[in-house]
Amino acid sequence: MLGDDVMKRHLLTATRVFLVGVTLASTVLVAGTAQAAPGASGSAVEAPAICTDHRYVVTGDGVAVRTAPGLSATILRRKYRGDIVVVPCVPIQHADGYEWVAVRLGTGGIGWMARIYLQRL
């Protein structure tokens, strides 16, 4: 069984983001945490784990909201210029030459939109 100090360290590690390295080039973002890129060196700097939704405005007309990242995924609905969407704290995905961001659906689910058609408010 792990000692109390070890358990506390594991819990603390799981609830914080650690930034490793001196430059962003030496940091790789993985599911809300930062990890050292292969071959990077530097000391860890502790930062609070803060992740919030952001609002974006749609800049294109008839932009597809899909079930998954990629042009072959099923279209759930379309968004139009001026529509506001909420982008949750989910890593960007790359598929078919586009960056795809998750967007919140009114049903509580998640859809995917090409980032090129969104502008942060």
Q: How far is CA 52 from CA 27, 89, 121, in A?
A: 21, 6, 14
Q: How far is CA 116 from CA 15, 67, 96, 99, 113, in A?
A: 32, 18, 13, 7, 9
CA distance 101 to 113: 6
Domain boundaries, the chain: 4-48, 54-120
Q: What is the mean pLDDT of residues 61-90?
A: 96
Number of H helices, E strands in the chain: 1, 12
18 confidence band (pLDDT: 50, 70, 90): very low
For residue 14, pLDDT beyond 50: no
Measured in whole angstroms, the distance separating CA 99 from the mean position of its chain's CA atoms is 11
CA distance 27 to 32: 12
Q: What is the mean pLDDT of residues 50-77?
A: 94
Tell me the pLDDT of the chain averaged across its residues. 73
Higher pLDDT, 56 or 37: 56
Least Cα distance to 50 among 102, 11, 89, 6 occurs for 89
Can you name the CATH fold of 54-120? SH3 type barrels. (2.30.30)
Q: What's the pLDDT at 50?
A: 65
Higher pLDDT, 70 or 3: 70
108 confidence band (pLDDT: 50, 70, 90): confident
Percent of residues, the chain, with pLDDT higher than 90:
52
